[in-house]
Structure 1
Amino acid sequence: MRVSVILPAKNESEGLGRVLPLLRSVLPEAEIVVVDDGSTDDTAEVAAAAGARVLSSPYSMGNGAAIKRGARAANGELLVFMDADGQHNPADIPLLLARIEAGFDMVVGARGASGQASTGRGLANAFYNRLATWMTGHRVLDLTSGFRVVRADRFREFLHLLPNGFSYPTTSTMAFFRSAYPVAFVSVDVVKRIGNGSHIRPLRDGVRFLLIIFKIATLYSPLKLFAPAGLLFFLVGLGYYGFTYSTMGRFTNMSLLLLSASVIIFLIGLVSEQITALTYTRPDRP
């Protein structure tokens, strides 16, 4: 099948200078699409000189936005997503493509502990992987890896769900699991990025990563998040009622508030579950 390689790039001229020749040697017939996300260096010129198809944005829209632009414009039946900073080895692409040929719809290049940008990032990603494993019932080795191969028609079904920021890998992986599209993970090695430092800033993005945790749950099965929270409120309310009844002989407003909150939280989860089911339902697919 035809293959398109999509590289979102923001000020990655140095990395592209090394990655693109390697890509061409590994996949000489593939379409290479570089999405220039408002770069201020010569990223677009380097990519064009290497024979890549360049899509340029007048200003930075975000990593996810670049992925969506590239996915819409690509002509291949298979889409390869990878970073333009030299972390991903193009020689690993055939390993991912082989798993696609085995019947999978998405294959993710899973990083090991040594491939994490920092200890903090590694711990956060390990937590995301465990949470996603619990939510899906399948072992998730690397939820946030940006190195992956997907079937184009499957991936485009979920473009409207993808954020413009950095969490497109999380969203797309959970969407594939939720829609019963087979997902596989292949262990790959990564190296230190070339050029500018990571665009992720711990203080700025700390809250965003926390929200990813809730997004993982609500994307897949909201009741798995809301039902335990509702049960917790119910048990606390019941326990507090027992305490106040035994010490004061009455039912307090706080007990009523906690018990009412438990019912409200559960009902919100129930409604969210139905909305999620509708989100993943298309007229041509049950």
Structure 2
Amino acid sequence: MKISIVLPAKNESAAIGATVKNIRTQYPQAEILVVNDGSTDDTAVVAEQAGAIVVHHPYSKGNGAAIKTGARAAQGDVIVFMDADGQHDPSDISRLLEAVSQGHDMVVGARQKGSQASLGRGFANGLYNRLASWMTGHKVEDLTSGFRAVHAEKFAEFLYLLPNGFSYPTTSTMAFFRAGYSVAYVPIHAAKRIGKSHIRIFRDGTRFLLIIFKVGTLFSPLKIFAPVAFLMFLLGSAWYAWTFASMHKFTNMSALLYTGSVITFMMGLISEQITALMYKNSV
């Protein structure tokens, strides 16, 4: 297999040189692409000096946009995506590639306990993993890990779905599951990043919350809409039972809840059909 290794990088001059050199030492024949996402430091220069091919964004477009640029530029049959900040150990690449060679379409490096992550992010990741596992019916060990290996041809099918922000791992994982492709997990240890993180808890809190809904809408919207519709129906019935027992009448609140439950369920059905059309060309 011809291997391409893509590293999205924004202001990672402190770590990118050592990361690229380490990869080059272990994989001298691999294509190493660093996507310089509008860095204002020497990230591009350091990456080139270390032996990487640098693709430039004239301004910062986001981590997901850098991933898409790297995927389009990559010439390999298999693409390995990893962070440029020193969190991911290049020696783990061989383990991901081994799983790919065994027939898996996407292999994700699943961060184990002890990896460097804040308490809040660890809790959020656990919530995402449980939700995704329920949606797909498969155990999802790490939904948001950016360290993964994929078949380039199959990954290209879903580039139009990927957001320009930080949630590309979530989107790509759920898209592969929905398309019926094989997804596997390899345990890894993520080290403490070098330099300053670009993620801000308050700024990105809403974005992380939206990931939960994106998980549902990318895989099976009805699994999200149907329980909500059923809950509204139960609330409407309970309210009707109380008002009938106490006032012997059917109130507007009951009518609103019943109507809302029907509308919500129908929205779920429509969303399910739209989602199916998104994957109509997938095997």
TM-score by length of 2: 0.99
Partner of 1:271: 270
1:17 Cα deviation (Å)?
1.5
1:67 alignment counterpart: 67
User: 1:43-73 CA deviation, whole Å, 9 max, x = no partner?
Assistant: 0001111121101111100000000000001
Matches within 5 A, 1:69-108: 69-108=69-108
Q: What amino acid maps onto 2:78 in structure 1?
A: L
Aligned pairs for 1:1-286 (under 5 A) are 1-195=1-195, 197-282=196-281, 285=282
RMSD: 0.7
| Matched-pair contact (CA < 8 Å) for 1:116–1:122 | no
Count of equivalent residues: 283
Measured in 1, the distance between the counterparts of 2:41 and 2:211 equals 31
- Distance (whole Å) between structure 2 residues aligned to residue 205 and residue 41 of structure 1: 24
Q: Does the 8 Å contact 1:2/1:78 carry over to 2?
A: yes
Q: Deviations over 1:124-163 (max 9, x none)?
A: 0000000000000000000000000000000000000000
CA distance in 1, matches of 2:58, 2:273: 39
Paired with 1:243 and 1:271, the residues of 2 have a C-alpha distance of 33
Contact 1:113 1:122 in 2 (8 A): no
Q: Secondary structure at the match of 2:138?
A: coil
Residue pair 2:116, 2:191 contacting (<8 A) in 1 also: no
Q: Deviations over 1:212-266 (max 9, x none)?
A: 0000011000000000000000000011000000000000000000000000000
Mapped contact 1:109–1:188 kept (Cα < 8 A):
yes
8 Å CA contact 1:88, 1:189 repeated in 2: yes
Q: Give 1:201 deviation, angstroms.
A: 0.4
After TM superposition, give the deviation of residue 198 of structure 1 in Å.
Answer: 1.0
| Counterparts of 1:105 and 1:249, CA distance in 2 | 61
Larger displacement relative to structure 2 (62-71 or 43-52)? 43-52
Once residues 116 and 208 of structure 2 are traced to their aligned partners in structure 1, the CA distance between those partners, rounded to angstroms, is: 15
Equivalent-residue separation in structure 2 for 1:241 and 1:113 (angstroms): 49
Identical-residue share of aligned pairs (%): 63
Structure 1 runs not aligned, ≥5 long = none
Q: Offset at 1:116? A: 4.3
**Which amino acid counterpart does residue 275 of structure 1 have in structure 2?**
I
Please list every run of at least 4 consecutive aligned residues from structure 1 whose deviation after the TM superposition is greater than 3 angstroms: none
Please list every run of 5 or more consecutive structure 2 residues that lacks an aligned counterpart in the other structure. none
SS of structure 2 residue aligned to 1:75: coil
What SS does structure 1 have at the residue aligned with 2:230? helix
CA distance in 2 between partners of 1:202 and 1:114 (Å): 21
What's the offset of the Cα at 1:113?
A: 2.6
- 1: CA distance, partners of 2:206 / 2:42: 33
CA distance in 2, matches of 1:201, 1:38: 19
Cα displacement (A) at 1:13: 1.1
Letter in 2 for 1:236: L
Residue identity in the other structure for 2:194: I
Aligned residue identity for 2:246? T
